Amino acid sequence: MPARGADKVTILAFGDSLTHGFGLEQDAGFVPQLQAWLRGHGLPGAVVINAGVSGDTTAGGLARIDWALGADVDAVILELGGNDLLRGLAPGQTQANLDGILARIQARDLPVLLVGLPAPANYGADYKAAFDALYPALAEKYGVALYPSFLQAIAPDGMPEASLMQADATHPNAEGVARIVADIGPKVLALVQ
């Protein structure tokens, strides 16, 4: 990795509104900021494809993963599950959907960075424990890299810093995304090197 030489690598960022860049200017979202970060840190030919769909669940991701995995893709960042949480879907269902997505990516022999999101406490301790365990379990099953929480760089105590979030308190603002990219960037770099 990268398959076609060090100066060209294509990464599929496959996720929901956090990946898509909901509420942000086009160049301020996760994908453009990550691409710029990678280009500035030793991958001048990095291309990050924005396959983030706002509102998407893991079921939606499972339905669209096959056509998203174009022939040019060298690696995948998989960030899904937040909308499953918002809808209170069963953790087992979320895990089964992510398992299906990972199986399809593995069939293409592509490296993956699985990005989690911890459950809030309002669904109860059992739900939280089950949901929080599914990302590490899948990372171990498929032997993929795990980034435990998309928001970890801006939520040191589990709650995102308000100044780094949009008014909806769900999506990071441009500065929040910049901090997330600075934290996750080295993991993505390691994924493709």
Question: The domain that contains 156 carries what CATH number?
Answer: 3.40.50.1110
The pLDDT value given to residue 193: 85
C-alpha 185/C-alpha 193 separation (Å) is 12
C-alpha 143/C-alpha 126 separation (Å) is 26
Residues known to be catalytic: 17, 168, 171
Q: Give exposure, 30-49, as e/b (b: 16+ Cβ within 10 Å).
A: bbbbbbbbbeeeebeebbbb
Find the domain containing 83 and state its range: 9-187
* pLDDT for 162 beyond 50: yes
Q: What distance lies between CA 146 and its chain's CA centroid? A: 10
C-alpha 83/C-alpha 49 separation (Å) is 21
Q: What are phi and psi of 23, to 5 degrees?
A: 80, 5
For residue 44, is it within any domain? yes
Per residue in 79-102, pLDDT (tens digit) is 999 999 999 999 999 999 999 999
Per residue in 49-79, pLDDT (tens digit) is 999 999 999 999 999 999 999 899 999 999 9
More confident residue, 168 or 1: 168
Q: What are phi and psi of 39, to 5 degrees?
A: -65, -30
C-alpha 151/C-alpha 167 separation (Å) is 16
pLDDT band at 6 (very low <50, low <70, confident <90, very high): low
Per residue in 119-158, pLDDT (tens digit) is 988 999 999 999 999 999 999 999 999 999 999 999 987 7
End-to-end C-alpha distance for the chain, whole angstroms: 5
What's the Cα-to-Cα distance from 140 to each of 55, 106, 134, 173, rounded to whole Å?
A: 27, 13, 10, 32
For residue 161, is it within any domain? yes
Residue written as token pair 């090197």:
193
For residue 4, is it within any domain? no
Q: Considering its fold, how many domains does the chain have in total? A: 1
pLDDT band at 159 (very low <50, low <70, confident <90, very high): confident
What's the Cα-to-Cα distance from 21 to each of 13, 55, 126, 174, rounded to whole Å?
A: 11, 12, 31, 9
C-beta separation of 164 from 175 below 8 A: yes
For residue 134, is it within any domain? yes
C-beta separation of 30 from 181 below 8 A: yes
pTM equals: 0.95
For residue 193, is it within any domain? no
The pLDDT value given to residue 44: 95
For residue 91, is it within any domain? yes
